[in-house]
């Protein structure tokens, strides 16, 4: 078997897990179950980050060589979302920083803030504005991430049938 299949199969599986998490996120969103929304988003982001880790290894590694020879991921970049996943995975450290810099202003944590206006980005610890995940002063477009994962899935399917 071509060695790249070990990596691409796992990436495909992780995309399937991410899709399941995305589906559950949408379901929870429709039902307005806030804790479940954030639970499923965290799972979605974790699986997306694993896809990135598998398919974008360190330059010069054996995996990098194997994948470059067998899979075209030109134009694909999940690094921004790996950063968000890292924030969530190391939430204790981010919370320490948040508390250290807290100046008594109102803040949002695990809130749906769609349509909320006039608040500085720093007041959002974890919040969702439509499908823009706001975390610790940064915004991440979840629809864009979902679209990228679907593109990767398409390329992986072409590679496995090609």
Helix (H, G, I), strand (E, B) or coil at 55: helix
Give whole-number Cα distances, 116 to 108, 112, 124, 135, in Å: 11, 9, 11, 15
Quick: pLDDT tens for 86-132. Answer: 888 898 998 998 889 888 888 788 989 888 888 877 788 889 999 99
The alpha carbon of 41 is separated from its chain's Cα centroid by a whole number of angstroms, namely 8
158/36: higher pLDDT:
36
Quick: pLDDT tens for 49-89. Answer: 999 999 999 999 999 999 999 999 999 988 877 888 888 88
**pLDDT score of 162 more than 70:** no
Residues whose CB is less than 8 angstroms from the CB of residue 64 and which lie 6 or more positions away in sequence, other chains included: 57, 58
Q: Which residue has the tokens 């250290």?
A: 100
């Amino acid at each position: 078997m071509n060695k790249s299949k070990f990596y691409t199969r796992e990436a495909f599986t992780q995309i399937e897990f991410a899709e399941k998490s995305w589906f559950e996120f949408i379901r929870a969103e429709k039902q307005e179950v806030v804790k479940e929304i954030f639970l499923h988003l965290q799972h979605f982001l974790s699986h997306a980050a694993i896809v990135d880790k598998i398919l974008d290894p360190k330059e010069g590694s054996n995996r990098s060589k194997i994948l470059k020879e067998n899979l075209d991921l030109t134009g694909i970049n999940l690094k921004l979302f790996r950063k968000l996943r890292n924030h969530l995975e190391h939430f204790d450290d981010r919370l320490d920083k948040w508390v250290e810099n807290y100046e008594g202003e109102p803040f949002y944590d695990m809130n749906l803030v769609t349509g909320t206006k006039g608040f500085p980005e720093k007041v959002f610890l974890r919040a969702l504005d439509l499908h823009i995940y706001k975390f610790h002063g940064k915004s991440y477009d979840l629809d864009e991430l979902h679209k990228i994962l679907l593109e990767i899935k398409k390329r992986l399917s072409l590679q496995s049938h090609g």
